[in-house]
Amino acid sequence: MVHTVVVHLYTQPGKESEMKKVLITASQTYSKDKGTLAWFVMQNEKDSTAWCIVERYENKDDVKTHAANPFFKTFPKLVGPLLDPKRPTQILRHNELDADADVRAKL
């Protein structure tokens, strides 16, 4: 079952360019990990200090591979000073539904 992690985080105003570089580097790094299906980064179109990361893994255990990547220890040191302390980071974990399953809602 595909396991997805969604992270919402916020930079301090004026730190957007630095955050963009860190998140792109993270995406390029983590996307190569075994078991990682995708590692997307997005910037809010109205609030340039708001970011979303969508991490998709083949299964929940592949998050351990992600955490074992050497960049995983570096990432908080790069991101931490850029975060807005007034706006907490939110981490959500989901198991994706099998949309290919032969299940139909009554319409």
What CA–CA distance (Å, rounded) separates 80 from 90? 14
Q: Tens digit of pLDDT for each residue in 41-71?
A: 999 999 999 999 999 999 999 999 999 999 9
Domain topology for 3-95 = Alpha-Beta Plaits (3.30.70)
Backbone phi and psi for residue 3, each to the nearest 5 degrees, phi listed first:
-110, 130
Residue 15 DSSP symbol: -
**For tokens 């929940």, what's the residue?**
60
Range of weakest confidence among 7-21, 22-36, 70-84, 87-101? 87-101
pTM of the model: 0.89
pLDDT score recorded for residue 72: 94
pLDDT score recorded for residue 101: 73
Strand order in the sheet with 90-95: 36-43, 50-57, 3-10, 90-95
Confidence of residue 98 (pLDDT cuts 50, 70, 90): confident
> Domain boundaries in the chain?
3-95
